[in-house]
Structure 1
Amino acid sequence: MKKAAMRKSASTTPRVAARGLSLIELLVAMAISLVIVIAAAYVYLGTREAHRALDRASTSMETGTFALQLLGREIENAGFYPAIVPPNAPDETQKLMYDTYPPLPNTTPPSGTDWAAPAAVYQTAIYGCSGGRFDPKTATCPVPDESKPDSIVLNHFSSDSMGNVLGQHADCEGGDPASKDGNMQRSWNTGDPPSSYDNTLPPGLPIFVSNRYGLDDVTTTIVDGVAIQTNSLVCSGNANGYFGAVAIYQPLLAGVIDLRFKYGIYDSETTLAPTQFYAASDMAALPNLTVNGVVLTPWARVTAVRVCMLTRTLGGNTRLPDDAAAKQQYLDCDDTAHDQPKGDTIRRHVQVFGVRNALRNSY
């Protein structure tokens, strides 16, 4: 009897150890695994979206910072003319216009087209338009529209003693204005006296460079495969011609949605410190000032420029939904508060730049 019980116990023990999962246990295990997978996917998607939001916010900040640096560098360089430049042999038809330091407007109408054309915009280091984009073809500003961004024209002369054929006379589009308009004669570097231009050699005299900056009305940008309508900082250089020629503005930075300039001018002969900042539309009402016997217009007395721009994140989902009772806000360039848009972030970037090269002759 005892032996039979032992045999029965020995024969049944392996069968109990080899028993598999029941259907209920299998379903529970699958449910737990599914919960873990869903949780992992949720964490992954949340982390990825957080990284994308952080990247969009960082890109917007970098856009504003880089745009300020770009414009600041151009503003600080406005009015530049090399300190020591030997003159070309005088051309009686253009005397004092392109063979002196700095080049002076001619007393007679220029032959053909020239940087010293009657348009005042090209006879000062800085010129601007309020609420509209400067038209290089007509050298005019549109009727100011407060809902539209400003634009600015920045003029300087090149420095070609840097060991590079192109030197410093590339415009904001990377073009070479040495053979355009009045620069044709300034670029003469072959012959005695110079009478032709060899583009393998540096120009004979500094080259006039004019860069215009503004915002494009609508630009399509692809973010994560989605087309987004936004604005872009744009530029137009004078390598494509600037008198009587159609100039196309080229996009530089997407995500800049507003751009405003104010110009600091001095009103005293004893100081060059700006006494007040004015919008471009207010400059025409300001009087001229005689300094050391030279009559200077308000544009010729600009010594500082205040740049304000707004950037907007591209792609959305950079902010959590706001509490209806405490919405996040931003300040525009007129210091007016606005609610942040749903999902996007708008930032204001402001900086004042000194004009280092405000020449005191015709420039």
Structure 2
Amino acid sequence: MTTPHPMKKQSGLSLVELMVALAISLVVVAAAIYAYLASREGQRSIERLSASRETGSFVLQTIGRELMNAGYYPANVLPIPPDATQQGMYDSYYPLQGATRVATDWENTAAGWPPTAYQTGVYGCDGGQFNSNDGTCPSAEDTKPDTLVVNYFTSDASVAPGTSKDCTGSFVGNDPSNAQRKLNKGTPPAAVDSALPPQLPLFVSNRYTLRDTKMFVDNNDLITKSLACSGNGQSYKGVIGVYQPLVAGVEDLQFTYGVYTAYDPTAAYNSLAPTRFYTATEVNGLTALNVRGHSLAGWQRVTAVRVCLLTRTLGGSTRIADSSGSTSTYKDCAGTEKNQPAGYQMARYEQVFGVRNALRLSY
């Protein structure tokens, strides 16, 4: 007789065990999510810091390249054949002293041209935006960014993109002061052939400052400042003096100018190295100095420009919390140490650029 097998007792998780396992799983998942979010936020913070550093480098490089052109006039320009007064000499900036003015000369003192701001390779405004319409600066305000004006003449052999374009991409031949100099067709030139280069180098003037810009970052509106420029090629658009933004995230922009204040005509060598760096207002107040028989004002003796700017990160949570009892700081362009603001980070960039800024009256 076969003995039946006894029924095995069913086994499984009790409700309590199931709840404990579920709670543990939720804790593990929550920890994983937190780690992921923290990692992602950390990566975004690094990316924003990197972008801010790139902004600082870009602004310095942009202004530095522009300052390399300050006061440039190409010396390889041939005389204009139909103009007898130009034979045997270069048509320089300015014309030879004592020479009778001709229509192609850029300078026209009888008409009050050019304004002081365009008579040197470098000019500037303290705490305000340069007015391109009348060539003047507003009253200085310490809380506002400065404006830098850089002037030179283009050596481009065509009207293609290059130095014949201002910082906004507009052809500088549109500036009324270049009306005669850009003519290149006929004898004497009386019209413009787009396939030919201008008959004479064209005047270029670019102005750099900051302007408020509204951005949309992380699903939020953000008001920041951008490096902005205006150029003399904008004339034909009727938007003279409008500063177009180039790159956002620049909080402050300050310029000081290295000027030499002594010159010894009996010395065998004068270095013309900057005595010190002055603000634009201080440069305007400097007395003239006789150099090689020429009376040179302060702006004509600028041989270096110091550029200082502050960048700020864009978007929230771009700064790691400070250590207990220690607050991160930064120095502004005045050298004042300040606490880093909550949620974003400020950084200071500074560089000194040597400038040509000669604009001699003759070669």
Q: TM-score range by the shorter chain?
A: 0.7 to 0.9
Q: What does 1:84-99 correspond to in 2, within 5 Å? A: 84-89=76-81
Q: How far apart are the structure 2 equivalents of 1:137 and 1:362?
A: 28
The answer to whether the 8 A contact 1:121-1:127 is kept is: yes
Indicate whether 1:298 and 2:290 are aligned: no
For residue 322 of structure 2, give the secondary structure of its aligned residue in structure 1.
coil
How far off its partner does 1:342 sit? 0.9
What is the aligned partner in structure 1 of residue 266 from structure 2?
Answer: none
Q: Return the offset for 1:142.
A: 0.5
2:247 is aligned, of 242, 253, 270, to 253
Give the aligned partner of residue 140 of structure 2: 144
2: CA distance between counterparts of 1:241 and 1:88?
Answer: 27
Cα distance between partner residues in 1 of 2:134 and 2:96: 19
Counterpart-to-counterpart distance in 1, 2:117 and 2:32? 62
**Residues 103-182 of structure 1: matches in 2 within 5 Å?**
103-104=94-95, 117-161=113-157, 165-182=160-177
Kept in 1, the 8 Å contact 2:230–2:240? The answer is no
Q: Distance in 2 between matches of 1:301 and 1:362?
A: 17
Matching residue of 1:198: 193
Partners of 2:251 and 2:310 within 8 A in 1? yes
C-alpha distance 106-211 of structure 1, shift in aligned 2 (>3 A): farther
- Determine which structure has more spread, i.e. the larger CA radius of gyration: 1
Give 1:27 deviation, angstroms. 2.2
8 Å contact from structure 1 (residues 80, 156) kept in 2: yes
Q: 2:41 maps to what in 1?
A: 49
Deviation string 1:91-140 (CA, Å, 9 cap, x unpaired) is 69x989xx712244998999899665141111110000011110111211
Q: Are the structure 2 counterparts of residues 167 and 46 from structure 1 closer, same or farther at C-alpha, using a change threshold of 3 Å?
A: closer
Cα deviation code 1:255-293 (max 9, x no counterpart): 111111000012234122111110001012211122221
Residues in 1 aligned to 2:240 and 2:165: alpha-carbon distance in whole angstroms: 19
| Maintained 8 Å contact 1:179/1:187 | no
User: The residue matched to 2:315 in structure 1 has which SS?
Assistant: coil
* Offset of residue 58 of structure 1: 1.0
For 2:267, the equivalent position in structure 1 comes to: none
| 3-state SS of 1:64 partner | helix
Specify the alignment match of 1:102 in structure 2: 93
Whether the 8 Å CA contact 2:94–2:359 is kept in 1: the answer is no
Asked if the contact 2:67–2:353 (Cα under 8 Å) also holds between the matched residues in 1, the reply is yes
Q: Which of 182, 191, 213 is 1:187 aligned to?
A: 182
What SS does the aligned partner of 1:49 have? helix
User: What is the root-mean-square deviation of aligned Cα atoms in Å?
Assistant: 3.0
Segments of 4+ in structure 1 off by > 6 A? 105-113
3-state SS, counterpart of residue 67 of structure 1: helix
In the superposition, the TM-score normalised over structure 1's length comes to 0.87
Q: 1:56 to 1:91 in 2, by over 3 A?
A: same
For the residue of structure 1 that corresponds to 2:26, the secondary structure is helix
What letter corresponds to residue 21 of structure 2 in structure 1?
A
| Alignment equivalent of 1:69, drawn from 36, 58, 61 | 61
> Is the CA contact 1:188–1:195 (under 8 Å) kept in the aligned structure 2?
yes
Within the candidate set 180, 203, 207, 1:208 is matched to: 203
The one-letter code sitting in structure 2 at the alignment partner of 1:352 is V
Question: Could you tell me which residue of structure 1 aligns to residue 234 of structure 2?
Answer: 240
Post-superposition shift, 1:203? 1.4
Q: Which residue of 2 aligns with 1:274?
A: 274
Residue 226 (structure 1) aligns with: 220
Partner of 2:24: 32
Q: Counterparts in 2 of 1:339-358, with a 5 A limit? A: 339-356=339-356, 358=358
For the structure 1 residues 167 and 245, does the alpha-carbon distance in structure 2 shift closer, same or farther, using more than 3 Å as the test? closer
Q: 1:287/1:51 Cα in 2 relative to 1: closer, same or farther (>3 Å)? A: same
- The Cα offsets for residues 167-195 of structure 1, whole Å up to 9 and x where unpaired, read as 42110001101132121111111112212
Kindly state the Cα deviation for residue 233 of structure 1 after the two structures are TM-superposed.
0.9
Seq. identity, %: 48
> In the aligned structure 2, how far is the partner of 1:30 from the partner of 1:268?
84
Answer yes or no: is the 8 Å Cα contact 2:93–2:362 preserved in 1: yes
CA spacing shift, 1:31–1:22, aligned 2, 3 Å: same
Contact 1:186/1:206 (<8 A) preserved: yes
Gaps of 5+ in 2: 264-269
Q: Deviations over 1:225-271 (max 9, x none)?
A: 211111111100101129x9742100011111111100001223412
1:265 aligns with 2:259: yes
TM-score computed with the length of structure 2 as normaliser? 0.87
Q: Distance in 2 between matches of 1:245 and 1:330?
A: 38
1:53 to 1:110, Cα distance in 2 relative to 1, 3 A: farther
